[in-house]
Chains A and B, each alone.
Chain A
């Protein structure tokens, strides 16, 4: 489920600019003791509850989880990325997924709409 507006969140634009390549967005359940926060975590009132640079321990991770924090930004890249496929490969997969339809105008338009969204996001 997506976070609600009442749950604490990490800022999307860090107070101290951090090179995007040197941080990783992870699930709170993937957090481990010793990881360093790359961005501060704010509560619903926009008050910082954990500052950037704080070292996580098991107690802090648990407290964040029960306060509804779902994802955090940590320094470095401690976890392997799920592996975003190149755009060309994703496009080929899209063509494959639609290869058994195209009989109706609706399906052709859906195909194009998904293609457009993928292009926008790539």
Chain B
């Protein structure tokens, strides 16, 4: 069932980031306490792709130059967090387990990206701090999050199609089902939220890093991080096959096999904290 690109663009343009009700309640509780440390609020928001995307979008709309959630929260304070909590939409109960897997994968990618960035001996154009690497990992696949929310049946059908078709990517299967890949949909979401261009590049090209023309190092980093987390078991629905890691991406970041092995060990040690997104336990 293909959907017209006009309809998809309209949904992407009007799509407000969503989250679990439990996350909204947690933000409400914390923001209601004037003694709540802003660092704690920022760390809660940074575990949630919907809330993080909305905070960044608000900060950019307010012409705040920071690309980090923590600095946006300290600049705008508790009132902004209350506003974010009101604006975030709730994930419907029926697709909550699917979203829990997507949230878990986003957090896994954020962790892997942060760990991997420490092993790269290159200068990154758009990301510098651990939080910035965390964010590009967390928000690398907003297209899948949007598709699972607004085109749930098509998203599930794409996973089933991928199981049957060797040689296809999930993006191709999703395009067959709804008319757009998760990569292009993610780029549309980034544009509608006015996120910095680095997020658009990472969303659009993380599956084919050789096509990126901007932020090529960050896109290569996300490409490798994504394959590694899929290999480690952080998959969603039928999108469950690791693909060959792009050799150009490895060369671009001066990464070798030894560094990947080191990062995998460190990643498994971090798994206790990200093995299951808390919202999925509701």
A: residues with CB less than 8 A from B are 1-2, 27, 29-30, 62, 65-66, 68, 70, 79, 82, 90, 93-94, 96-101, 103-104, 106-107, 109-111, 113-114, 117, 121
Contact = CB atoms under 8 A, between A and B. Distances in A.
A121 B264 CA distance: 13
Contacts of A106: 245, 250, 257, 260
B252 to A, nearest CB: 15
Interface string B25-36: 010011001011
Contacts of A27: 278, 281
28 contacts: A1-B43, A1-B47, A27-B281, A30-B281, A62-B29, A62-B33, A65-B26, A65-B40, A66-B30, A66-B37, A82-B276, A82-B281, A90-B233, A97-B235, A97-B241, A100-B167, A101-B242, A101-B244, A104-B247, A106-B250, A106-B260, A109-B261, A110-B228, A110-B261, A113-B260, A114-B231, A114-B232, A117-B232
Contact of A113 (B29, B47, B264, B275): B264
B224 to A, nearest CB: 10
B40 A66 contact: yes
B276 A101 contact: no
Contact of A68 (B40, B230, B261): B40
A107 B244 contact: yes
Nearest to B271: A121
Given A1-B43, A93-B233, A114-B231, A104 B244 contact: yes
Contact of A100 (B43, B134, B243): B243
A104 B243 CA distance: 11
Given A82-B276, A109-B261, A114-B232, 18 more contacts: A1-B47, A1-B134, A1-B273, A27-B281, A66-B36, A79-B281, A96-B240, A97-B242, A98-B242, A104-B244, A104-B247, A110-B231, A110-B245, A113-B264, A114-B231, A114-B264, A117-B268, A121-B268
Nearest to A104: B244
Contacts of B241: 96-97, 99-100
Contacts of B244: 101, 103-104, 107
A98 to B, nearest CB: 6
Interface in B252-282: 257, 260-261, 264-265, 268, 270, 273, 275-276, 278, 281
A29 B40 contact: no
A1 B46 contact: yes
A43 to B, nearest CB: 14
B79 interface: no
Nearest to A117: B268
Nearest to B35: A66
Given A1-B43, A97-B240, A97-B241, A66 B231 contact: no
A85 to B, nearest CB: 10
Contacts of B40: 65-66, 68
Interface string B126-153: 0000000010000000000000000000
Contact of B233 (A30, A97, A104): A97
Contacts of A107: 242, 244-245
A44 B149 CA distance: 41
